[in-house]
Structure 1
Amino acid sequence: MSPTSQSAKHGGALSVLFAVCLAALTLPLSFSGGAIATPAIGRDLAGSAAMVTWITNAFMLTFGSLLLTAGTLADRFGRRRIFAGGVALFVAASIASIFAPTILAIDLLRAVQGVGAAAALAGGSAAIAQEFEGHARTKAFSMLGTTFGIGLAFGPVIMGLLIERYGWRSIFVTTAVVGLVAIMLGVPRMRETRDPDAARLDWPGVITFTGALSLFTFAVIEGASIGWGNPIIVGAFTGSVALLAAFVAAESRNDRPMLDLSLFKYPRFVGVQLLPISTCFSYVVLLILLPIRFVGIEGLSEIEAGLMMLALSAPMLVVPYVAAVMTRWVSPGVLSAIGLLVASVGMLWLGSVAPGTGVSTISPLLASLAAVPAMIVIGFGAAIPWGLMDGLSVSVVPKERSGMASGIFNTSKVANEGISLAIVTAALGAMTAGNIERKVSLLPSQVQLLPEIAQGIVAGDLSRVARLIPEVPHSTLVQAYFSAFQSVSYVLASITFFAAIVIFVLLGRTRPTELSSADEIRVEAPAE
């Protein structure tokens, strides 16, 4: 190949990488933007507290449940086609969200965004793998991970500024524009590639896995509103268990399964699956809960909440690379366990910080600064395993199984984010309701509304709650929320601590040499 041809090929590959990174940037922007905008959307469109909760959960549910399916489709029908279709669907849903008249419409469109995001990420990642080889491929994926980190760190600030100046609909304008640029820059220069040996889509696996995850998430979220003993909720939980059993049975009989269950015979692979679970409960859920707390409970503006979130997310820009360097001398399993222990300490610290207990009673922002040190500790601790998880996911299984291991890990990571968020939100609402019932003498009619009242507080819509129980002081509502948040924080710290111990036992003997050198490790921040 002539130097001119090589230069053109290299330039095309860089254009593809830039386009995929742009498309990937919309994911953390959508994740953080949705969290920052939740109180404003709830006030503007006046939906129920449960419907407000689905603003984030709908996106995470479809994104997590369809990521592995999208990867199979990309191999079978073409990486370029799936990437272009995914970004186009995401852009279309973003544009429609600008004009959405109700929260129900927002929820449904957020679910469509999740479908597009899964296709865009799966197709884009596969396209990068085709355009680059060897060390260049590792660097390309590291750049993709850095993009996620940038979006996660600065997304809340950018989205907060947009919401404060132009309203919450501006976040959908922003993601639509970024997506359109990604299509225009990347698709024309992206080669169409397929896997000639790709398996047919595992429809039984897709249907049962997506159904089980959807029913479980629905039951957890809606159970807080209509009661855990409601036949609908009991039926949803039962259906989820039945579909999960059907999924396991279907995958066990399939010669080319969507998810190869035999990988779970490796204890260290099981340990790797605990890493995203523990970081979800110690880190990811806070990316949603804290902006709502800062805006809805503590009275910060959206831009102030975004600035506060830098304390939690900024460590993701630096710490993962430092952790990768440390694997030259220390086992990545040991480093991951240490990081989770640090995060658990931060969770305990954060649980002790009540809303508005900072150094100032004049500015809500200054009053909230007491939470910043604890957030930094959590972000620092969680960033250590997050920078090592992807490398560990393929290093603890035989080399020929690395592709499937990576697919299982990524699906587990994203799916767990939606599940953990649903569980923690439901627990926070239930504890808040119990605190209100103990502190306040409610009328019988108000007792019936207690689940809705608690969910309204958790969603940060205190104005709606004040209309339902006008005689209850604002300070009492805040105290009920804080007591619940404190209890949840302590539970999350315990989960993170015990996960660290188990991960140390299962992965502590993983040698540093089992991973590549630091400059070859794929360092990724959360793909939200």
Structure 2
Amino acid sequence: MATVTSAGVAPDPRRWWALGALVASMLTLGFDMTILNVALPTMAADLGASTGEQQWMADAYVVVFAALMLPAGLLGDRFGRRRMLITGLAVFLAGSLAGALAGEVNAVIAARAAMGVGAALVTPLALSVLPSLFGAEERTKAVGIISAASALGLPLGPIVGGWLLNHFWWGSVFLVNVPMAAIGIAACVFLLPETKDPASPKVDTVSAALAVSGLGALVYAIIEAPTRGWSDPLVLGMLTAAVLLIAALVLRERRVERPMLDMALLAHRGFLFNTVAATLVTFVLTGLLFVLPPYLQAVLGHDALGTGVRLLPMMGGLLVASRLAAQVVARFGARAAVSAGLVVLAFAGLLGSRTTVDSGYGFVALWLSITGLGFGLSLIPAMNGGLSALPRDRAGSGSGLLMTMRQVGGAIGIAVLGSVLAGAFRDRLDVTGLPERAADTAGESVVAAHIVAGEAGPGRAAELVASANGAYVHGMGVVLLACGIAALVSALLAAAFLPSAPAEEEPEAPDMAAEQADARQ
């Protein structure tokens, strides 16, 4: 293994193999954020899942992932990063197996939550072990590779999921994780040195519980509101509980000597507004990837693989942006890059909101490619700018808070935009003449409406399908309009408040090797 000295880390000849295994693990975690989206129409038909239940199947993973990431990172610091990384991959593997074998909606939701626990352990620790493998001259490249793998997983998820669904049953979108996680475990056992930091803050179980319960209550209220109504006592109670729990978390973290969630980091203007920008970009992207697959499958009639492949223009835009972002930042500064990327994302959302039932895929491909371009131009400089704005000794806690906020943005994006879609779809759907039970079922999702139409008479079936398609496209348009407005507001905030220094004048990116050397000796 690598020999750590006060001067740095001696190169380990196996370090790139270890990085490859970590990249595979991060890629898997990345596409598990979105791989289920392309499977949801199939699962909705097979399991009878409503739109709200589909939101929970997608969000259970993201909510737990977001809420547990900070305490999970501290567990690795105190008890050994390799040990907890192996534990996280094992939990993720077990959750994936449970999901593949699940036979009903609640079992799928529970399996996704277990996978979120594993992902929360893996993500911060995959980054924190890099200083033990790479010296300062190689570490920037390693961090870039592993971050790119995580980002590329988002658009890859629907493509992988689509291919699997075309050849196997929907459980295969869970089963594909098993060999990837197993390879990651083997790599950790044989290639990674054990590191820890006994001086790190203790895991605050009360704060962790407040984070999980507060975020869970908020997401529950947002998902249930379209069905129950915003004035429903349960929805109001959950919203109130969410506000109280999150307020209690903030107050507790402000008072403890060594907080798990370091709110003082938000006093750094560059970190605060870059984090807000990165969070809102993730909010828009995850919401978009939730609402688009049913349009491609149910409305346009493509199969699962065809749906995944038709999301490729977004990846193309992202790849172009990943090459452009560094050049734009170097020439015009991070503020200009982030603001421009958000404006491009806003334009894509506003253009996409003009989609109709008869638009065809060519129009969708156009605004999807623009979406990928805006996503890459805004997210990459925002993350780099946020971490570069922090003092060297706050890098670890800052990266944890930034990643946590991005995951929270993703969870709320699915909940809010999915609920907007559900409400708009239900309001526009014409169920005149249907029995009450069939009408309720049709209102659950566009997939359910198509199933009900298949059981109706020939004349009514065509009318119901046309109404369902029109209602869904209307709801998707409302969601995309909301995404465009959110991105435009974010662009204005970025232009007004982000630091204007170009990249070469920004503080040097933090180097955590010195901080952790003593703990690794």
- Per the normalisation by structure 2, the TM-score is 0.90
Alpha-carbon shift at residue 513 of structure 1 (Å): 2.0
Alpha-carbon shift at residue 352 of structure 1 (Å): 0.8
* Residue 403 (1) aligns with residue 396 (2): yes
Alpha-carbon shift at residue 290 of structure 1 (Å): 1.1
CA distance in 2, matches of 1:350, 1:517: 39
* Residue 496 (1) aligns with residue 487 (2): yes
CA distance in 1, matches of 2:49, 2:324: 44
State the one-letter code of the partner of 1:428: L
1:104-253 correspondence runs (5 A): 104-253=106-255
CA distance in 2, matches of 1:302, 1:52: 16
State the one-letter code of the partner of 2:445: G
1:501-520 correspondence runs (5 A): 501-515=492-506
CA distance in 2, matches of 1:183, 1:435: 49
Alpha-carbon shift at residue 78 of structure 1 (Å): 0.8
CA distance in 2, matches of 1:176, 1:8: 33
**Residues 514 and 417 of structure 1, relative CA distance in 2, 3 Å threshold:** farther
Q: Which moved more, 1:263-272 or 1:184-193?
A: 263-272
**Residues 382 and 469 of structure 1, relative CA distance in 2, 3 Å threshold:** farther
- Contact preservation (8 Å) 2:11, 2:135: no
Match of residue 424, structure 2, among 415, 422, 431: 431
* Residue 484 (1) aligns with residue 475 (2): yes
State the one-letter code of the partner of 1:509: S
- Contact preservation (8 Å) 1:18, 1:186: no
- Contact preservation (8 Å) 1:252, 1:261: yes
* Residue 376 (1) aligns with residue 381 (2): no
State the one-letter code of the partner of 1:384: L
CA distance in 1, matches of 2:160, 2:494: 36
CA distance in 2, matches of 1:231, 1:517: 51
5+ residue gaps, structure 1: 359-367, 521-528
* Residue 392 (1) aligns with residue 381 (2): no
Q: Which residue of 1 aligns with 2:445?
A: 456
- Contact preservation (8 Å) 1:58, 1:108: yes
Alpha-carbon shift at residue 442 of structure 1 (Å): 6.2
CA distance in 2, matches of 1:150, 1:337: 22
Tell me the percent identity: 25
CA distance in 2, matches of 1:8, 1:403: 22
**Residues 7 and 440 of structure 1, relative CA distance in 2, 3 Å threshold:** closer
Q: Which residue of 2 aligns with 1:413?
A: 406
Alpha-carbon shift at residue 396 of structure 1 (Å): 2.1
Alpha-carbon shift at residue 167 of structure 1 (Å): 1.9
State the aligned residue count: 502
5+ residue gaps, structure 2: 512-521
- Contact preservation (8 Å) 2:278, 2:383: no
CA distance in 2, matches of 1:57, 1:446: 27
Q: Secondary structure at the match of 1:11?
A: coil
State the one-letter code of the partner of 1:489: L
Match of residue 58, structure 2, among 56, 64, 67: 56
- Contact preservation (8 Å) 2:443, 2:449: no
**Residues 468 and 115 of structure 1, relative CA distance in 2, 3 Å threshold:** farther
Alpha-carbon shift at residue 274 of structure 1 (Å): 1.8
**Residues 267 and 504 of structure 1, relative CA distance in 2, 3 Å threshold:** same
Alpha-carbon shift at residue 475 of structure 1 (Å): 0.7
CA distance in 1, matches of 2:2, 2:298: 61
CA distance in 1, matches of 2:435, 2:102: 36
- Per the normalisation by structure 1, the TM-score is 0.89
CA distance in 1, matches of 2:2, 2:304: 53
Alpha-carbon shift at residue 341 of structure 1 (Å): 0.4
Q: Which residue of 2 aligns with 1:262?
A: 264
Q: Secondary structure at the match of 2:33?
A: helix
Q: Secondary structure at the match of 2:444?
A: helix
Q: Which moved more, 1:466-475 or 1:178-187?
A: 466-475
- Contact preservation (8 Å) 1:205, 1:257: no
**Residues 191 and 332 of structure 1, relative CA distance in 2, 3 Å threshold:** same
Q: Which residue of 2 aligns with 1:320?
A: 322
- Contact preservation (8 Å) 1:67, 1:119: yes
